Amino acid sequence: MTSLDGAVVLVTGANGGLGTHFVHQALERGAAKVYATARRPRDWDGARIVPLSLDVTDASSIDAAAAAAADVTIVINNAGGLNGASVLGDLTELRALFETNFWGPLAVANAFVPALRSSGGTLLNVLSALSWHGMGDGYSATKAALWSATNTQRLMLADKGIDVVSLHLGYTDTPMVASVDAPKNDPADIVRAAYDGLETGDREILADELSKQVKAGLAAPIETLYPQLARS
């Protein structure tokens, strides 16, 4: 179990729709300090909030953040992107998306392993229901890759005393998916579910019904997740 009371939390992508809630709800649960990181940090109204520059695609930026936040006990890999990349055709945009959604979170995790090992801390990777479904095209591919890597992190970091937790969610009302015409979760509810899961010791947090349904479908024939593939 991971207590937020007295914790030192670092949130990547803190300026975004989920990130802002991760910052404020951590404080509500008693966090001693929250490093609110972004490529361009903004001013925050709160003595316990420390704005910090962190670009997950820049190794030197990650190293500097890790040095500045060496007292961290919880790292939330929340930063991510969506650029319409596809696995078919020109792969330029897909490579860029992998830099943000896959290589970036791995680099952040690696940089903060020493701090988390010394504190017996927790790494939370924000994934997606699309970690398990290809309808998101290139975005799905990046999240599926990070899900696989997250499982490996769980195994490799367990003996270092670091808990690795994944958060899966469907469409949520944030600027990143503003153009998507579909029912959306309230981001406050998603973050609340994430922190509830941390505090009860969950290693895989399914934050909404869609995530639960898609995860359950993995055990079924492929046509269950993709009915368009069913042969008549």
**What gap in Å lies between CA 203 and CA 40, rounded to an integer?**
31
Who's near 23: CB < 8 A, 6+ residues apart? 9, 11, 14, 34, 36, 44, 49
**What gap in Å lies between CA 36 and CA 134, rounded to an integer?**
31
**What gap in Å lies between CA 215 and CA 208, rounded to an integer?**
11
User: Which residues are catalytically annotated?
Assistant: 139, 143
Amino acid code (one letter) for 207? A
Closest CA to 78 of 120, 44, 34: 34
Question: Radius of gyration over alpha carbons of the chain, in Å?
Answer: 17
Who's near 167: CB < 8 A, 6+ residues apart? 124, 125, 126, 127, 190, 193, 194, 197, 205, 207
